[in-house]
Chain A
Amino acid sequence: MSSILNQILHGLMLGVLYSLIASGYTLIFGVLNVVNFAHGDVCILGAFVLMTGVLILAPLSITLGSWYFIPFLILLAIAVTGGLGVVIERLTVKPFRKVGHMPLFLGSVAVAFIIREVIKHLYPDGANPKQFPIILTNLKFQWLGMDIRLSNLIIIAIAAALFISLFTFVNKTKIGLQIKASSEDIDAAQMMGVSLNKTYAAIYFIASCVGALAGILNGIYFQIMQYNMGVITGIIGFSAAIFGGLGNVYGAIIGGLILGFVESFTVAFVPGGTPYKEVFAFMIVIIFLALKPAGILGKKTIEKV
């Protein structure tokens, strides 16, 4: 019984992490109709920037060791990754805006390769799995037979806060409203004085920031990081986003949670199913897309020319 409860908790955690990654995909797709294939690697890059920061500043932390040290590093990593997102937008979206979807997609695939290889070759001994530094507490306690880590609760709290602030940002601030306007009608928004360049950059910046935070939380939860984790992370996040309906942030949350529970329940209920947990998740995505291509919350559309 307790193992099942533990698996439910694990599924919830996976779901939260997946929906965080999925929301990055969905943010970009909702406005630009573009899938940033490099998003998974951007997430991992965020975690690696943080690890680099810890690596460089660790000797200093004895002197610096105050309460604002870790939040400062996290914010720095998020900002750096967000800036990189803008660079990605300038490289893979701006040149191809009028060309079509395929070059856009292939460009982001290329960026994904480059990020992965840069991490592998620049981070010291980057080809091997790395221990993620314990930046939150390592405290554990038992409740109803479940092993609960305090950091898991903090992750859920951070994710909830992030989603709420994302909604407020999109609905209340000026840039958020510009993004929303562009997602409804990009030409009309331009006519009303919304700068396309700025909006695109803002979307990539925000999506990459969210991605970096997702990557860092991933690292805190799994406590291990490898340069090529971005492939699977990205594909699962992308699946979650499509599963829920691309372009819909609620869809991303639902899709992420469903995929997380599918994986953990495969481990819990299918005998010998541990190696096949991703197989089940992907099979569900394939079958679901074959039957209802628009996703759970998506609307059926025929693309106009």
Chain B
Amino acid sequence: MYKKLAEYITVGIVVLLLFFLFVTFLQVEKIDFRISYFFIFFVLLILFVKNEKTKGFLSKSFKENAGFLYLVIIIFLVFLPFPLRENPYLIHICIMIGLYSIMALGLNVYLGSFGMVNFCFGAYFGIGAYTSALLATNFHLSFWITLILAGIGGLLGGILVSLATLKNKGFYYVLVTFAFQQVFHLMVNNLEWTGGPDGVVKIPFPKIGSYSLGQPLNLFGVTLPFHANFYYLTLFLAILSILIIIRINTSKTALIWNAIRDDEIAANCHGINIFWRKVEVGAVGAFFGGMVGPLYGHYVGYISPEVFTWEVSAVLLSMIILGGINNISGVIVGVSILTILTEKFQLFSNYRTLVFGLIILFFLIFKPGGFIPERVRDYKGLIIGTKLSKEHL
């Protein structure tokens, strides 16, 4: 009883500490005393990891109370805008982390689960954003309808690319995705009804009933800037996406994808229909890309073709490689680190492509798994759909 309580408290304190550091890291503008928090944190971390007893206790309490851990994290995420309300730009950074997380999870379906490098993720993103923006400005459709339509638009784009690449793999696949990305960019940039190089402007804010997401949010007697609305919307969709991805990753579908990734011919010999699976992967990954489009467009208020280039895929690739390929928490860690670095440090953002290139190269050579490498599937107590008790294995 007391042991369980101690474990709960440990998990709570560690998560609280991490969030405290996260908020501090967001708020630090120049070198001041708050830097010392990070120093203290690292000293504590080293002390804990060196000591076998505390290390065992920590890993045990995190492993056995996963549900409680996620609950605590979600509670902290819900309350995150409160300490940041003085500076809306910091909430903006958090929103961007959410948007990039959803996209990176979508790209990870290609890269991690299926082992294909996809370079047209910017096009899926753009298809979603343009679908929603054009429908909202020309036909005054509600955001919630266009959100779903944008996801479906991205999904159709993904299916189109997959159908065009049924016979291709490896470098040929990369080339076709790159060509598709260029075609999309050039078309959007030159067609008249998409607004050409100017893009679409004056995209309306989403509305729930008569409440517009563009007005400040009153929560528990505290007034938050309007960014908080979008923060909660993004948080909700990000958690939904993570749940969907977890569901896919623990299902037979992802197992089949991984089998194709590891050995296409062997998978084919076992009766897996590779063509159909390719279309499936294309559709699932692209749906997440398309879904982020309207979130971005309606939040920023305008979209232009410059946003939807192949660099979206490049940025996402470096985030995934930094964090850990095919590991959900790894991907989110990678996204958070790189988004904060690029959004926060102006000097850094001038050289960001250079740094992304160096990061990809460094991690590929020295740490191919990223910060949090992919976990090997654990079938203890789980055999495709039926839960077995521990005694069976």
Question: Does A202 sit at the interface, judged by CB under 8 A?
Answer: no
Interchain CB contact under 8 A, B117 and A239: no
B312-350 vs A, Cβ < 8 Å mask (1 yes, 0 no)? 001001100100000000000000000000000000000
Q: B272: shortest Cβ distance to chain A, in Å?
A: 15
Q: Which of A86-122 contact B (CB under 8 A)?
A: 91-92, 95-96, 99, 101-103, 105-107, 109-114, 116-118, 121
Residue of A nearest to B171 (CB): A35
Q: With the chains together, A205 CA to B182 CA distance in Å? A: 30
Which residues of B pack against A, CB within 8 Å? 111, 115, 117, 163-168, 170-172, 174-176, 178-180, 182-183, 186-187, 189-190, 263, 265-266, 310, 314, 317-318, 321, 351, 353-354, 356-361, 364-365, 368
Q: B86: shortest Cβ distance to chain A, in Å?
A: 35
Determine the chain A residues whose CB is within 8 A of the CB of B354 once the complex forms. 113-114, 117-118, 121
Interchain CB contact under 8 A, B310 and A293: no
| Residue among A96, A109, A238, A293 making CB contact with B360, cutoff 8 Å | A109
| Residue among B180, B265, B351, B356 making CB contact with A121, cutoff 8 Å | B351
Determine the chain A residues whose CB is within 8 A of the CB of B360 once the complex forms. 106-107, 109-110, 113
Interchain CB contact under 8 A, B314 and A290: no
Given the interface pairs A103-B364, A276-B186, the reply to whether A282 lies near B179 with Cβ below 8 Å is yes
Interchain CB contact under 8 A, A235 and B178: yes
Q: A234: shortest Cβ distance to chain B, in Å?
A: 9
Q: With the chains together, A290 CA to B167 CA distance in Å? A: 6
Q: B11: shortest Cβ distance to chain A, in Å?
A: 36
Interchain CB contact under 8 A, A114 and B172: no
| Residue among B186, B361, B368 making CB contact with A110, cutoff 8 Å | B361
Interchain CB contact under 8 A, B175 and A242: yes
Q: Which of A269-305 contact B (CB under 8 A)?
A: 275-276, 278-279, 282-283, 285-287, 289-290, 293, 302-305
Q: With the chains together, A276 CA to B168 CA distance in Å? A: 25
| Residue among A110, A289, A290 making CB contact with B364, cutoff 8 Å | A110
Range for the number of chain A residues in contact with chain B: 35 or more
Q: B178: shortest Cβ distance to chain A, in Å?
A: 6
Interchain CB contact under 8 A, B368 and A99: yes
Question: Does A79 sit at the interface, judged by CB under 8 A?
Answer: no
Residue of B nearest to A277 (CB): B186
Determine the chain B residues whose CB is within 8 A of the CB of A231 once the complex forms. 310
Residue of B nearest to A292 (CB): B167
Q: With the chains together, A305 CA to B183 CA distance in Å? A: 34
Which residues of A pack against B, CB within 8 Å? 29, 35, 37, 91-92, 95-96, 99, 101-103, 105-107, 109-114, 116-118, 121, 231-232, 235, 238-239, 242, 246, 275-276, 278-279, 282-283, 285-287, 289-290, 293, 302-305
Q: With the chains together, A232 CA to B365 CA distance in Å? A: 27
Residue of B nearest to A95 (CB): B365
Determine the chain B residues whose CB is within 8 A of the CB of A282 once the complex forms. 179-180, 182-183
Q: With the chains together, A37 CA to B170 CA distance in Å? A: 13
Most buried by A among B172, B314, B359: B172
Q: With the chains together, A65 CA to B263 CA distance in Å? A: 61
Determine the chain A residues whose CB is within 8 A of the CB of B318 once the complex forms. 110
Interchain CB contact under 8 A, A105 and B357: no
Determine the chain B residues whose CB is within 8 A of the CB of A29 once the complex forms. 171
Interface CB pairs A-B, < 8 A, 12 = A106-B117, A106-B321, A106-B364, A110-B356, A110-B359, A113-B353, A114-B358, A276-B186, A278-B186, A286-B176, A289-B176, A302-B265
